[in-house]
């Protein structure tokens, strides 16, 4: 029996809890102390891997020691992957919490803002600019209301963070479009002026704006026009969405979202602003009636950067449904005519009786049915509401609270597309984006499974056999869909997608052939569709087989 080495000598690696462009985050546990951690696994084989960027992220996080910043404990650098051992954060994003609580108040927004300002003040004082401040990077430490960290904010994702140097202002164009500061966009041209830590205050101002009304101050389908809006810095506190917001909150936002960085508040000035200083007396009244619906709707990318007028029309079309635990929301074989947002509760996605996904409050499913009338190929069953949500709604312990969904019918969406043609053009990209995301995720999982199996085979042959059986079961539980059907449903060319995936054919071939060897060597290859697999080899090598596997997996997920 071989001794475990590297990260596995100290940590157990569990299930996936997050994914990025070239990394996956898994839950972990320190073997000796039992301390739960998050393990970020960065694949060096990924085409998007940037060693310099990773080194910068590690160097930056190693310098951070603040209660409102996610902590980096250890780094393991191995031949194929780099493992970052991080503080485990379970509370989700600030927007997730707002959706979960079914409300947002000025008091909540003020509390979040104050904690982020404390983190930024610390970072700026030690010479670090975050450069990618947005709601997705502002997290709650715990999802347990009984935990002392339930309301603690953690600033995350230091991938773009950088130390300020004595050589002058920074000039690299980076960040997330809707939250990027105007001076960052002004770095194009022959003589860029550079920028400093004030860019983080602009971004936080935009985050506060979104928290208080549910939509961003700048929005346009055309990115160039969006950037022009940002450079001009013209925005409004639209009625009725801002009518209940205090003058102090509006004043704070108006002094953070300022085009001239010299006139923009810094962290100390923000912390001394009356709105922050008077946090204890900030209003706990629910903000405007459509606030939560806006946040739910904007999770679907086609609604991400549209103005309040469109959001309001969409929210007025949503139909409220309550589905008891154990009841089906969607059945395989029925023709899809609507999509769903999960207002409260959870659902499980099943294919041929096998669970393939678990979705909860704030998630959505069935969106392809907004434009395509096709038979669904997966079941979606309600899991009801958890005990916390049940108690919030006055349901006694022991009773089962139904899952609460918001349904958007295709007929209603078609009316909206006629009125707002931009929605149709956006929808064409939804499937393609999800395919790419799922393809990357599956490729990474195959790579990690290969690595885990090769290491565990020396220590535990039975574990290797179990891993192979899991792959076999997953394959058998999925229904292969012809490429033409997928292309028709998504409005994108699967041939083009296959070409893009095959660019990294060396990795795909090695992983696909490993999967084949695993089944055949274990004596179970006779149960596998050898004819189909060999045909894939003859047609397009093992990488094409992997593409078919990925597309079948994704098609099931999309059509739920």
Question: Both 120 and 224 in a single domain?
Answer: yes
Residue from 45, 115, 53 nearest 81 by CA? 45
**Does the annotation mark 132 as catalytic?**
yes
With beta carbons less than 8 A apart as the criterion, state whether 472 and 519 touch.
yes
Instruction: State the total domains in the chain.
Output: 4
With beta carbons less than 8 A apart as the criterion, state whether 554 and 492 touch.
no
pTM: 0.69
Q: Which residues span the domain enclosing 330?
A: 318-417
The token duo for 549 is: 């596997």
Question: Both 76 and 135 in a single domain?
Answer: no
Question: Both 287 and 181 in a single domain?
Answer: yes
Question: Both 282 and 238 in a single domain?
Answer: yes
Max CA distance (Å), the chain: 72
For residue 77, give the CATH number of its domain.
Answer: 3.30.200.20
Q: Helix axis angle, 198-213 relative to 106-125, nearest 10°?
A: 170
In a domain, 184, yes or no: yes
Residue from 361, 388, 345, 357 nearest 292 by CA? 361
What is the 3 state secondary structure string of 67-78? CCECCEEEEEEC
- Calpha distance 514→459 (Å, rounded): 19
Q: Please give the annotated binding residues for ATP, written as ranges.
A: 40
Amino acid 536: pLDDT? 45
Question: Both 428 and 408 in a single domain?
Answer: no
In a domain, 177, yes or no: yes
For residue 406, give the CATH number of its domain.
Answer: 2.60.120.10
Residue recorded with tokens 């929301």: 329
Walk along the chain (560 residues) and give the pLDDT tens digit of each residue.
345 568 999 999 999 888 876 789 999 999 999 999 999 999 988 887 888 889 989 999 999 999 999 999 999 999 899 999 999 999 999 988 887 776 789 999 999 999 999 999 999 999 999 999 999 999 999 999 999 999 999 999 998 898 887 655 666 777 788 899 999 888 665 445 788 999 999 999 999 999 998 888 998 878 888 899 999 999 999 888 899 999 999 999 999 999 999 999 999 999 999 999 999 988 888 777 677 777 777 777 677 667 777 788 888 888 889 999 999 999 988 988 898 988 888 999 988 888 888 888 878 888 878 777 678 888 999 999 865 454 444 444 445 689 999 899 988 888 888 877 777 666 655 545 554 555 555 555 555 555 555 555 555 555 555 555 554 444 444 333 333 333 333 333 333 334 334 444 434 444 444 333 333 344 444 344 444 444 444 444 444 444 444 444 433 333 34
Query: Looking at 132, 266, 379, 553, which residue is catalytic?
Result: 132
Question: Both 152 and 282 in a single domain?
Answer: yes
Q: What φ, ψ does residue 248 adopt, rounded to 5°?
A: -65, -40
With beta carbons less than 8 A apart as the criterion, state whether 383 and 352 touch.
no
Burial bucket for residue 2 (CB in 10 Å: 0-12, 13-18, 19+): exposed
With beta carbons less than 8 A apart as the criterion, state whether 88 and 27 touch.
yes
Burial bucket for residue 505 (CB in 10 Å: 0-12, 13-18, 19+): middle
Count the neighbouring beta carbons within 10 Å of the beta carbon of residue 355: 12
Query: Which residues, 6 or more positions from 230, have their beta carbon under 8 angstroms from its beta carbon?
Result: 180, 181, 182, 185, 218
With beta carbons less than 8 A apart as the criterion, state whether 416 and 423 touch.
yes
Question: Both 457 and 395 in a single domain?
Answer: no
With beta carbons less than 8 A apart as the criterion, state whether 10 and 73 touch.
no
- Calpha distance 169→149 (Å, rounded): 36
Question: Both 142 and 58 in a single domain?
Answer: no
In a domain, 307, yes or no: no
In a domain, 25, yes or no: yes
Amino acid 133: pLDDT? 94
Q: What φ, ψ does residue 355 adopt, rounded to 5°?
A: -70, 130
Q: Mark which of 87, 117, 141 sits at the end of a domain.
A: 87
Q: Mark which of 61, 87, 113 sits at the end of a domain.
A: 87
Amino acid 451: pLDDT? 56
Amino acid 351: pLDDT? 83
In a domain, 471, yes or no: yes
Q: Mark which of 34, 65, 87 sits at the end of a domain.
A: 87
Question: Both 102 and 55 in a single domain?
Answer: no
- Calpha distance 423→350 (Å, rounded): 29
For residue 285, give the CATH number of its domain.
Answer: 1.10.510.10
Question: Both 385 and 474 in a single domain?
Answer: no
How far, CA to CA in Å, does 465 sit from each of 14, 450, 456, 490? 18, 12, 10, 36
Q: Please give the annotated binding residues, written as ranges.
A: 40
In a domain, 549, yes or no: yes
Question: Both 235 and 275 in a single domain?
Answer: yes
- Calpha distance 81→40 (Å, rounded): 10
Question: Both 16 and 53 in a single domain?
Answer: yes
**What is the rounded end-to-end Cα distance, in angstroms, of the chain?**
44
- What b/e string do you get for 32-62 counting C-beta neighbours within 10 Å, with b at 16 or more? eeeeebbbbbbbebbeebeeeebebbbebbe
How far, CA to CA in Å, does 4 sit from each of 40, 447, 453, 466? 19, 19, 13, 19
- Under DSSP, is residue 473 helix (H, G, I), strand (E, B) or coil? helix
In a domain, 298, yes or no: no
């Amino acid at each position: 029996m071989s001794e475990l080495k590297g990260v596995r000598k100290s940590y157990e690696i569990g299930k996936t809890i997050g994914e990025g462009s070239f990394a996956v985050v898994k839950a972990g546990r320190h073997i000796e102390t039992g301390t739960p951690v998050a393990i970020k696994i960065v694949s060096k084989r990924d085409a998007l891997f940037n060693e310099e960027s990773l080194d910068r992220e590690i160097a930056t996080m190693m310098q951070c020691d603040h209660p409102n910043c996610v902590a980096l404990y250890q780094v393991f650098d191995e031949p194929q992957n780099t493992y970052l051992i991080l503080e485990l954060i379970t509370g989700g994003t600030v927007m997730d919490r707002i959706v979960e609580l079914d409300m947002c108040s000025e008091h909540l927004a003020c509390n979040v803002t104050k904690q982020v300002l404390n983190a930024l003040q610390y970072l700026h004082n030690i010479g670090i600019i975050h450069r990618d401040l947005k709601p997705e990077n502002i997290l709650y430490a715990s999802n347990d209301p009984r935990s002392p960290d339930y309301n603690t904010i953690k600033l995350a994702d230091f991938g773009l963070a950088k130390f300020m140097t004595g050589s002058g202002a920074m000039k690299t164009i980076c960040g997330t479009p809707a939250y990027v500061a105007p001076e960052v966009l002004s770095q194009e041209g022959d003589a860029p002026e550079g920028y400093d830590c004030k860019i983080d205050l602009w971004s936080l101002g935009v985050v506060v704006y979104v928290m208080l009304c549910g939509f961003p101050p700048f929005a346009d389908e055309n990115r160039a026009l969006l950037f022009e809006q940002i450079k001009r810095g013209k925005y409004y506190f639209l009625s009725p969405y801002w009518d209940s917001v205090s003058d102090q909150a509006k004043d704070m936002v108006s002094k953070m979202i300022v085009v001239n960085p010299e006139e923009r508040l810094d962290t100390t000035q923000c912390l001394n602003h009356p709105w922050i200083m008077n946090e204890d007396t900030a209003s706990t009244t629910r903000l405007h009636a459509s606030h939560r619906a806006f946040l739910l709707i904007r999770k679907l990318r086609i609604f991400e950067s549209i103005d309040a007028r469109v959001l309001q029309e969409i929210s007025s079309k949503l139909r409220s449904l309550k589905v008891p635990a154990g009841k089906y929301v969607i059945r395989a074989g029925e023709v899809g005519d609507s999509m769903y947002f999960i207002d409260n509760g959870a659902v499980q996605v099943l294919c041929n009786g096998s669970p393939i996904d678990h979705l909860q409050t704030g998630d959505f499913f069935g969106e392809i049915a907004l434009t395509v009338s096709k038979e669904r190929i997966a079941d979606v069953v309600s899991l009801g509401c958890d005990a916390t949500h049940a108690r919030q709604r006055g349901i006694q312990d022991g009773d089962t609270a139904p899952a609460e969904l918001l349904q958007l019918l295709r007929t209603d969406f078609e009316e909206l597309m006629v009125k707002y043609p931009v929605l149709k053009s956006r929808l064409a990209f939804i499937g393609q984006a999800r395919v790419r995301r799922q393809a990357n995720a599956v490729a990474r999982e195959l790579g990690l499974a290969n690595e885990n199996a090769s290491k565990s085979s020396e220590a535990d042959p039975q574990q290797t056999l179990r891993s192979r059986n899991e792959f076999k079961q997953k394959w058998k539980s999925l229904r292969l869909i012809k490429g033409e059907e997928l292309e028709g449903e998504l409005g994108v060319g699967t041939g083009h997608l296959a070409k893009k995936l095959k660019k990294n054919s060396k990795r795909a071939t090695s992983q696909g052939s490993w999967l084949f060897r695993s089944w055949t060597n274990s004596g179970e290859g006779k149960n596998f569709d050898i004819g189909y697999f060999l045909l894939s080899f003859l047609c397009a090598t093992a990488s094409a087989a992997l593409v078919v596997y990925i597309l079948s997996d994704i098609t099931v997920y999309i059509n739920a």
